[in-house]
Structure 1
Amino acid sequence: MIDVPTLVEQAREGRPRAVARLISLVEGASPQLREVMAALAPLSGKAYVVGLTGSPGVGKSTSTSALVTAYRRLGKRVGVLAVDPSSPFSGGALLGDRVRMQEHATDPEVFIRSMATRGHLGGLAWSAPQAIRVLDAAGCDVILVETVGVGQSEVEIAAQADTTVVLLAPGMGDGIQAAKAGILEIGDVYVVNKADRDGADATARELNHMLGLGEARQAGDWRPPIVKTVAAKQEGIDEVVEALEKHLAWMAGNGELAARRVRRAAQEVEAIAVTALRQRFGDVHGDKHLDALARRVADGELDPYAAADQLIAAVTG
C-alpha cells in the first residue's frame, strides 16, 4: 500500500515524482483513489485552470508551450495536462505534446503530463478533473489543459476550465468549423495562431463577425477578445496572457468564477456516481433477474420501461 499522506506532502513541496505518482493513481483508478482525493480536497481550489482547444494542426501544443514560457516569466508555477490520443495497442498516450514542450522539461516549476483519452469522447481523459486537482494541490498557480484535437466533440473542455481558449488558424476552414462545432458558445478568448500566414486578418474578421451575430449580451457581459499570435516565435503570447488575466478578474468580480467551479464540481460528482452505477449495472448482465424481466418483455407481459424501473430498483435498492 502507498503511504498517501506522505505522497501528498511531497507533492505539496513540488516534487515531480510525487505528483506523477498521484496522477498515475488517478489514471489507474487505484483502490486508494478515494483516500487520495480526500487528502487533496482541502488543498485545492486555488489554481487558475485554462483550457486550450481547437482543430488539429492549429498549433495547440506550440501555443501551450509559449504560454508556459510567458507564465514562468511572471514567476508562476505551471502545470500542463496534455491530453493525447490513445495508442490503439497499449491504450497509452502517444506523447506528441510532451515532445513539443521539451524545453520546459528541466524546469522544476513546470509539471507536464500527457494523458490518454482511452477512448473517452469530448477531447479529454475521463480522469482529467482528478488530475487537475492533483496539480492544484501541488501548488500550481496556472494549469493549462490542452485537448486532444478531435474537432466537434471537444466542447467538453468548457466544463473543466475556468477560461476556455479556442485556437484557429488561417487557411484551415476554421470559420466554418467554428460555426458547426459549437465553439462559438464555449470560447472566452479566441486566438488566431500562425498569424504570419496569408488569410489571418480575414480569419479574425470572419470570427469577429460570427461572434457578433450570436451576441445577446447585456451591459457588463464578457465580450471574447480575438488575439493574433505566432506561437512558434512567441509573438502575441503576452497579449493572450493579458486577455486571460482580464477574464479571470472579470469572473472573480461578478461571481462567475465561483459559479463555474461549482458547476465543474457538480459534473465531476455526477460522473463519478454514473460510473459507479454503470459498474453495478454491468454486474447484472446474465443475471437471472434481468433474464426473467427480458423474457416477460419479449412475451409482451411487461413493457421495457416498467422492466427498467424494476431493474433499477433491484440494483440500487
Structure 2
Amino acid sequence: MQDWVDRIRQGERRKVARAISWIENGDERREPLLKALFPYTGKACLIGVTGAPGAGKSTLVDELVSQARKRGKKVGVIAVDPTSPFTGGALLGDRVRMTRHALDAGVYIRSMGTRGHLGGLARAAKEATRVLDAAGMDVIFIETVGVGQSEIDIMHLADTVALVLTPGSGDAVQVFKAGIMETADLFVINKADMDGTKKLVHDVEEMLHLAKSEASWHPPICETISKDGRGMEELWTELTSHLAYLKESGEWETRRFARLRREVQEIMGEELSRRLQEHVKDPAFQRDLDEVQAREQVPHEVARRWLARLAVEGGDTP
C-alpha cells in the first residue's frame, strides 16, 4: 500500500485514476488506501460550482481551470454527472467539454456518476477529492450535477461555493428557496450577454439585502460570459478573495472541522443503519413488530430495546 501512496503523491495519473475507481466501486482496498493518504490531505482549496442544469457550469469550470493554470496552480476537477442507466458511469462526461486541458500534466479531470445519490454530488466525490489533494493539487473544482431545492450537499464539501445563475431561467425567488441561497459564497450571473441580466442582478441584490446576516463576508455578484472568457479574471479574483477571507478570519479551520465532524457522524449513521438492517431479518424482531401491530408493545420501547442490543453487541469502546 505504501507504494501506492508514494506514487499517488508523485501525481502518477494511472494510480490516481485507479484509486478513484476503487472508491466509486467500494473496493476492499479503498479504506486502507484512504487511511494511508489521509495525513497528506487538507492542503488543497476546494471550490464548488453549482447551479441549475444548462447554466454553463462546465464551460465556466473550464475557464477557471485556465485561470488557475495561468498562475501555476495544479488543478483537479471532479465533475458529477447523472448516472447512465446502462453502464452506471457518468452520463454526460464533462471531460468532453474540457478537452483543451486533456494533455496538460498539471490538470486532472474526472467525471463521476451520481449512482442514484441525491444532493447534487456523487457519494464518492468527497473521498475522490482526498486522492487529488494527496496527489498535490492546489485547487480542486467540484461541479455538481445540477442543483435543485434540496440538493445542497456541496456546502458540506467545498471551502467556497459559487452558485451559477442565468438570465431568463425563471423567478430568482424560486432559486433561493430551501436554503440554496445560504450555500453560496458568491453568485455568478453567467451568459450575461442575454436579455434580463440587469433584472437578475437586481433580484439577487434584493434577496441578499433581505437575507442580510451578521457574517463579515457579503457574497459578491460576478457577471461572466464563459463561452468567450469575459469576466473570468474578476471571478477568479473574487474566489481567491473569499479563500483569503476564510483563512484570515479563522473560518477556514472552523468550516473544515465542522465538515469532518459531519462526515464522522454520517459514517456512524450508515454503519448503524447497516447493522439495524441485519437485525430486521431476525425472527425475534419480526415477533416484536407483530406485537406492536397488535398494540401489545409500544414502538418506542421496541426501538430502544433493539438499539440497546446493538450497543451491547458492539461493546462500549471502539
| Greater mean alpha carbon deviation, residues 189-198 or residues 170-179 | 170-179
The one-letter code sitting in structure 1 at the alignment partner of 2:124 is: S
2:137 maps to which residue?
Answer: 140
For the 8 Å contact 1:10–1:18, the answer to whether it is kept is yes
Residue in structure 2 matching 1:223, options 218, 222, 232: 218
The one-letter code sitting in structure 2 at the alignment partner of 1:22 is: A
The one-letter code sitting in structure 2 at the alignment partner of 1:61 is: S
Aligned structure 1 segments of 4 or more residues deviating by more than 4 angstroms: none
Work out the CA distance in 1 between the residues paired with 2:291 and 2:154.
43
Work out the CA distance in 2 between the residues paired with 1:236 and 1:89.
39
1:65 maps to which residue?
Answer: 62
Work out the CA distance in 1 between the residues paired with 2:187 and 2:51.
10
Work out the CA distance in 1 between the residues paired with 2:53 and 2:178.
13
2:236 counterpart of 1:236 = no
Q: Secondary structure at the match of 1:283?
A: helix
Work out the CA distance in 1 between the residues paired with 2:303 and 2:7.
48
Structure 1: runs of 5+ lacking an equivalent: none
Work out the CA distance in 1 between the residues paired with 2:106 and 2:71.
12
1:166 maps to which residue?
Answer: 163
2:276 counterpart of 1:274 = no
Work out the CA distance in 2 between the residues paired with 1:210 and 1:27.
38
Work out the CA distance in 1 between the residues paired with 2:50 and 2:272.
30
Query: 1:267-310: per-residue Cα shift (whole Å, max 9, x none)?
Result: 21122222222221222232112112112212222111111111
Q: Secondary structure at the match of 1:34?
A: helix
Work out the CA distance in 2 between the residues paired with 1:255 and 1:138.
26
2:253 maps to which residue?
Answer: 258
Q: How far is 1:7 from its partner?
A: 1.5
Structure 2: runs of 5+ lacking an equivalent: 313-318
TM-score normalised by structure 1 residue count: 0.95
Residue in structure 2 matching 1:118, options 103, 115, 118: 115
Residue in structure 2 matching 1:49, options 46, 67, 86: 46
Superposition pairs of residues 1-317 of structure 1, within 5 angstroms:
4-173=1-170, 175-217=172-214, 221-317=216-312
For the 8 Å contact 2:164–2:190, the answer to whether it is kept is yes
The one-letter code sitting in structure 1 at the alignment partner of 2:236 is: V
For the 8 Å contact 2:50–2:147, the answer to whether it is kept is no
Work out the CA distance in 2 between the residues paired with 1:259 and 1:130.
20
RMSD of aligned alpha carbons: 1.3
Work out the CA distance in 2 between the residues paired with 1:37 and 1:28.
14
TM-score normalised by structure 2 residue count: 0.95
Work out the CA distance in 2 between the residues paired with 1:165 and 1:10.
32
Give identity over the alignment, percent: 46
Work out the CA distance in 2 between the residues paired with 1:209 and 1:125.
33
User: Using a 3 Å threshold, how does the CA distance of structure 1 residues 278 and 90 change in structure 2: closer, same or farther?
Assistant: farther
Q: How far is 1:95 from its partner?
A: 3.6
Work out the CA distance in 2 between the residues paired with 1:60 and 1:176.
20
Work out the CA distance in 2 between the residues paired with 1:19 and 1:33.
12
Query: 1:129-163: per-residue Cα shift (whole Å, max 9, x none)?
Result: 11111111110000000000042122110111000
Work out the CA distance in 2 between the residues paired with 1:181 and 1:300.
38
Work out the CA distance in 1 between the residues paired with 2:226 and 2:152.
23
For the 8 Å contact 2:74–2:106, the answer to whether it is kept is yes
For the 8 Å contact 1:47–1:140, the answer to whether it is kept is yes
| Greater mean alpha carbon deviation, residues 281-290 or residues 33-42 | 281-290
Q: Secondary structure at the match of 2:23?
A: helix
Work out the CA distance in 2 between the residues paired with 1:97 and 1:256.
31
Aligned residues between the structures: 312
For the 8 Å contact 1:82–1:145, the answer to whether it is kept is yes
| Greater mean alpha carbon deviation, residues 296-305 or residues 52-61 | 296-305
User: Using a 3 Å threshold, how does the CA distance of structure 1 residues 234 and 181 change in structure 2: closer, same or farther?
Assistant: farther
